[in-house]
Structure 1
Amino acid sequence: MPMDLSIFQLLGLSMCVFTAGVIDAMAGGGGLIALPAYAAFGVPPALLLGTNKLSSTLGIWVSTARYIKHIGAHPKEFVPMVVVTLIASAAGARAVLLIDPQWIRYMLLAAIPFVSVAVLGKRDFGKDDTSAALKPESLRVRELAIAAPIGAYDGFFGPGTGTFLAIGFSRVCGYTLIHATTRAKVINMASNAAALGTFLWAGRAHLELGIAMGFINIAGHFVGSSLAIKKGQSAIRPALVMICSLLFMKVAYDVFG
């Protein structure tokens, strides 16, 4: 049994990881649920991020593949966004050495309410695709303009990256939330895989627990992506708002707690 957890502890952790997978598949931000759960059930701090990254990466592969198949996209069209995001993420990670992350927390406290209003204030947010009104070159530039700063944020700070990507792609590029979420998932999958490789190389993941919870996370991502594909904007929009709210509470606790 992973980490000598009792059956009841495993059930409790599994419920949390499953829920994280469902939410993450629809709106990103699953780590806001899974990380506290792993910590609460005794995963050592040194293994916490790597174990969560292992289980979440297994799950995100499933939802990403389902979204790509659903919208009929070819994976190669996402390559420029992925490359730009990984470069920006590496730059963001370097910036941690130069800038106090506390400033990012203050900026998030100011920005998250506006992001939530942008989603809540428009009932049909992400329902209709208006991207066809843009020239292909303009659309690519907008995609990269979203991917670069949020990629840097991912490397510098991290929480809610997938959520911000989905909202940005929908608001700036005119994609439906299902198309925007697909792009966010592809980028998240690439960055997760890169980070996971680093954690595994350094021995900073509990392999047995991470793989076991990975299967639970896969189930969550399957359910979450099924809801998003079936319900579309009506399922994704409230999930985005919930993750924004959780992120706001986490950042507020970090700043004032």
Structure 2
Amino acid sequence: MELLTVALASLLAGFVDAVVGGGGLVLVPALFGVFPQAAPATLFGTNKGASVWGTAWATGQYARRVELNWRALLPAAAIALLGSFAGAWTVTLVSAGGLRKALPLILLAVLLYTLARKDLGRSHAPRFHGGRETLVAGPIGLMIGFYDGFFGPGTGSFFVFLFVRLLGYDFLHASATAKLMNTATNAAALALFAWKGHVWWHVAAVMAVTNIVGSLIGTRMALARGAGFVRGMFVVVVTALILKTGWDAFLR
């Protein structure tokens, strides 16, 4: 029953992640609820061992239907991977307590801005091309990659928002690009957790299968329904993240 519970949670997480990011909002609490005695690092590592496959699968599915500027974005993904390593190393030296309290306020600002700008992310009009796109996407990858390694909640949503706001992508293209970046940051975190021996591979393998299934469903729905659907899911997921992170930071 424990394995079945986390497998179903992983399926839902894969769906959410594929559309707009934020699958950790589902899967991480499920792992902590089902395995309360386990070391947190082991549960985080097991989560990455499953979610990296869902994000990689979603990246492949989006790439077949959504045109991405690979020449500009692959270097940015490599930078995001390095940022994630740096963030994971930094969190071993300093506490993330201050960021924990600031996060719900940052997410609230993102939500209010998105709601106020009703046209935000509805049309795809990239502001940069060629090397200039890499120059903007690279720092985004570094900053959010570092955040993912250091703390993590809402990484996919931050990627989506910044690609929409700074690069001029619509929500569908931003979500596709976020999957590429998130695959890199998840792979970096998984490598670190695996090196430290903090992955239950037998649990991660089962969750990876259901995560891919959820990712397939989410990707197909996003591609079929377009940027408006992804924007709506973005608002829902960011609202849920605000409630969850606010509870953890101020009320628990």
* Contact 1:68-1:74 at 8 Å conserved across structures: no
Which segments of 5 or more consecutive residues in structure 1 lack a partner in the other structure?
1-5
Q: How many residues align?
A: 249
CA distance in 2, matches of 1:242, 1:59: 20
How far residue 75 of structure 1 moved from its aligned partner, in angstroms, is 4.2
How far residue 193 of structure 1 moved from its aligned partner, in angstroms, is 1.4
How far residue 79 of structure 1 moved from its aligned partner, in angstroms, is 2.1
Q: Give the match for residue 141 of structure 1.
A: 135
* Contact 1:13-1:38 at 8 Å conserved across structures: yes
CA distance in 1, matches of 2:136, 2:24: 27
Is 1:190–2:184 an aligned residue pair?
Answer: yes
Q: CA offsets, 1:200-219, max 9 Å, x none?
A: 23332221221111111110
Q: Which amino acid aligns with 1:17?
A: S
Q: CA offsets, 1:166-220, max 9 Å, x none?
A: 1100111001112111211111111211222222233322212211111111100
CA distance in 2, matches of 1:63, 1:174: 21
Change (3 A) 1:135 1:16: closer
Q: Give the match for residue 29 of structure 2.
A: 36
Partner of 1:129, secondary structure, is coil
Q: Which amino acid aligns with 2:178?
A: A
* Contact 2:81-2:187 at 8 Å conserved across structures: no
CA distance in 1, matches of 2:42, 2:142: 29
Partner of 1:232, secondary structure, is helix
Is 1:221–2:178 an aligned residue pair?
Answer: no
How far residue 10 of structure 1 moved from its aligned partner, in angstroms, is 4.1
Worse-matched range after superposition: 209-218 or 153-162: 153-162
Q: Give the match for residue 247 of structure 1.
A: 241
CA distance in 1, matches of 2:206, 2:22: 20
Q: Which amino acid aligns with 2:164?
A: S
Q: Give the match for residue 232 of structure 1.
A: 226
Which segments of 5 or more consecutive residues in structure 2 lack a partner in the other structure?
none
Q: Which amino acid aligns with 1:171?
A: R
Q: Give the match for residue 65 of structure 2.
A: 70
Q: Which amino acid aligns with 1:37?
A: A
- Cα RMSD (Å): 2.1
Pairing of 1:49-128 with structure 2 (within 5 A): 49-73=44-68, 75-96=70-91, 99-128=94-123
Q: Which amino acid aligns with 1:164?
A: F
Is 1:170–2:161 an aligned residue pair?
Answer: no
Worse-matched range after superposition: 90-99 or 222-231: 90-99
Q: Paired residue for 2:13, among 12, 16, 20?
A: 20
Worse-matched range after superposition: 223-232 or 235-244: 235-244
Q: Which amino acid aligns with 1:47?
A: T
CA distance in 1, matches of 2:197, 2:227: 40
* Contact 2:104-2:241 at 8 Å conserved across structures: no
Worse-matched range after superposition: 202-211 or 98-107: 98-107
How far residue 98 of structure 1 moved from its aligned partner, in angstroms, is 5.5
How far residue 11 of structure 1 moved from its aligned partner, in angstroms, is 3.9
CA distance in 2, matches of 1:202, 1:97: 12
Change (3 A) 1:198 1:152: closer
CA distance in 2, matches of 1:215, 1:149: 30
How far residue 82 of structure 1 moved from its aligned partner, in angstroms, is 1.5
- Bigger-Rg structure (1/2): 1
* Contact 1:27-1:240 at 8 Å conserved across structures: yes
